[in-house]
Amino acid sequence: MTFSHTDQGTEEAAWEASGLPVAPELPLGPDERAALRFVVLAAHPDDETLGAGGLLASLQATGAAVEVLLCTAGEGSHPDSPTHTPEELAAVRIREFSEAMAALGLQDRWHFLGLPDKGLGMHADTIAAAIRDAGRRLRGNPGSLVLVAPYRADGHADHDALGAVSAEVARQDGHGLLEYPIWYWLWATPDHADWQDWLRFPLDATARAAKNQALQAHSSQVRPLSPAAGDEALLGEGFLGHFTRGYEMFAWTPPRETPAGSRRSTDAERVFDDVHGRSEDPWNYTSSWYERRKRALTLAALPAETYGSGLEVGCSIGTLTAELAGRCRNLLAVDASGTALQLAARRLAGLPHVGLRQLVVPQAWPEGKFDLVVVSEVGYYLAADELSVLWDRIEASLEPGGTLLLCHWRHPVDGWELDGDTVHALARKRPGWKPAGLHRERDFVLETLVAPASIRPGERR
């Protein structure tokens, strides 16, 4: 990628018109952020403020454990300056960085690695070691640590190198990863596909004010060093417009650590019999507005008005089942918990076209063909290999052109390997499935996929 800070680039108005302001929200609420630990990586002073200053201010406000690692002093920002040597500029920029950290409430929570500007790709081992040292200082299990780093395809060599190292450490050690773009907003356009999977982190007034104060602290970048040629401001008004939004954007990779003793589908009967034995409505299906609204959205997402034969996987106490019954001439609802099914049977007693069966999927599966399969709040109760078998089962039993509806909570699910976003991402990878609708909020994702209308000879179902 070749670009210059003097390029006009993509205007902020184009990003605003792209749908960016209504992108799905990052599924990390204040309590979840407070329970996590964050190691924040910046290639140069001001990267942290531009890409994640609002997030950092919000983390400080919630009391989250945070440590910021500054890799270089950014001494190469004005190579033709007639007034500042690289050494002098390094001192200026470190001082500015310190002031910015104070504005964000993190004045005592940063370390300077002292690496050379414009060469981070040569120091991957040093950076990886520094990340792991910071993680040990913050103390905790790997799955509760999140790395915040430049987007690994930001287009700036140091940003890309630092992002790549951070992503690899996160992958190896089971950490979450938040990647923040900076120069991407200049050279990319809304036609690029990358950003369409990114998530929005809304900033309250306090976080926006702290970010703006921190940004102004980097005066060597936002204002000229002097009137002389070579001392121009590097970050012009048009470019800075990308960072005065009421939100920040991140590529989010949740922790991929498989917890010790993670459960599998074979644990479901025991676990959920216990859950339903302690409460007849353990998730407040009947009283929670969140649950009632989610069911209404689920029904509205079904592309057909009626279905001949439906299958609901994981029906629990039958609240969604009762509403799906009005859209299906025949409906089979299955669950691993016999206790849950006893409660569902009471609720569905007046619906003779609805059947109930205790099954632990995917090992067990009902016979017959269906033109609707609903998998709601179930996928993450399987291990990854079991989920793959579930998709095979569904493919084999769905009629051509049939609907698969998925709905899942987007937050971590304690004790289980997968989360909702991963379940949906794995479903989208299945060949031949066509997307029919996607609704994503901070707390849940709702999606419909349609099976191929016909199967070619020799093609795997």
pLDDT (mean) for 201-227: 97
433 vs 451: CA distance, rounded Å: 5
Concatenate the DSSP letters of all residues of 356-395 into one string: EEE--TTTS---S-EEEEEEES-GGGS-HHHHHHHHHHHH
In a domain, 6, yes or no: no
Percent of the chain with pLDDT over 90: 82
In a domain, 129, yes or no: yes
> Which carries the bigger pLDDT value, residue 274 or residue 56?
56
Query: Does residue 385 share a domain with residue 301?
Result: yes
Cβ neighbours of 31 (radius 10 Å) = 8
User: Average pLDDT, whole number, for the chain?
Assistant: 93
In a domain, 455, yes or no: no
C-alpha R_g of the chain: 26
Nearest to 349 by CA among 377, 315, 318, 327: 318
In a domain, 259, yes or no: no
209 vs 203: CA distance, rounded Å: 10
In a domain, 403, yes or no: yes
The CATH number of residue 243's host domain is: 3.40.50.10320
450 vs 420: CA distance, rounded Å: 19
The CATH number of residue 269's host domain is: 3.40.50.150
Q: Say how many domains are in the chain.
A: 2
327 vs 333: CA distance, rounded Å: 14
In a domain, 151, yes or no: yes
Query: Does residue 246 share a domain with residue 332?
Result: no
Dump pLDDT digits (tens) for 358-399. Answer: 999 999 999 999 999 999 999 999 988 999 999 999 999 999
33 vs 252: CA distance, rounded Å: 14
Give the SS3 label for residue 155: coil
Residue 400 is part of which domain span? 265-450
Residues 252 and 199: beta-carbon distance below 8 Å: yes
In a domain, 315, yes or no: yes
In a domain, 5, yes or no: no
Apex 53 CA angle, 234 and 103, nearest 5: 95
Query: Does residue 305 share a domain with residue 165?
Result: no
Dump pLDDT digits (tens) for 18-41. Answer: 999 999 999 999 999 999 999 999
Concatenate the DSSP letters of all residues of 391-423 into one string: HHHHHHHEEEEEEEEEEEE-S--TTSS--HHHH
Query: Does residue 165 share a domain with residue 41?
Result: yes
Q: What is the pLDDT of residue 261?
A: 54
Query: Does residue 165 share a domain with residue 40?
Result: yes
Query: Does residue 297 share a domain with residue 232?
Result: no
pLDDT of residue 48 exceeding 70, the answer is: yes
Q: What are the tokens at 111?
A: 């370390």
Q: How far is CA 320 from CA 299, 303, 326, 410, 435, in A?
A: 9, 17, 11, 19, 22
Query: Does residue 287 share a domain with residue 388?
Result: yes
The most confident of 133-142, 146-155, 433-442, by mean pLDDT: 146-155
Q: What is the pLDDT of residue 242?
A: 97
Task: Classify burial at 2, counting beta carbons within 10 Å of its beta carbon; exposed 0-12, middle 13-18, buried 19 or more.
Answer: exposed
Residues 214 and 103: beta-carbon distance below 8 Å: yes
Query: Does residue 291 share a domain with residue 340?
Result: yes
Q: What is the pLDDT of residue 418?
A: 87
Query: Does residue 436 share a domain with residue 365?
Result: yes
Query: Does residue 158 share a domain with residue 25?
Result: yes
Dump pLDDT digits (tens) for 143-154. Answer: 799 999 999 999
Residues 408 and 424: beta-carbon distance below 8 Å: yes
Domain final residue pick, 253, 280, 313: 253
Give the SS3 label for residue 262: coil
Domain final residue pick, 230, 253, 276: 253
Structure letter (DSSP) for residue 25: B
pLDDT (mean) for 320-331: 98
Pairing of strands 199-202, 247-253: antiparallel
Q: With bands split at pLDDT 50, 70 and 90, how would you rate the model's confidence at 457?
A: very low
Q: What is the pLDDT of residue 257?
A: 55
1 vs 331: CA distance, rounded Å: 54
Q: With bands split at pLDDT 50, 70 and 90, how would you rate the model's confidence at 263?
A: confident
pLDDT of residue 333 exceeding 70, the answer is: yes
Per DSSP, the chain holds a count of helices (H) and strands (E) of 16, 14
Q: Which helix (H) or strand (E) holds 334?
A: strand 328-335
Domain final residue pick, 232, 253, 274: 253
Query: Does residue 244 share a domain with residue 104?
Result: yes
Query: Does residue 422 share a domain with residue 312?
Result: yes
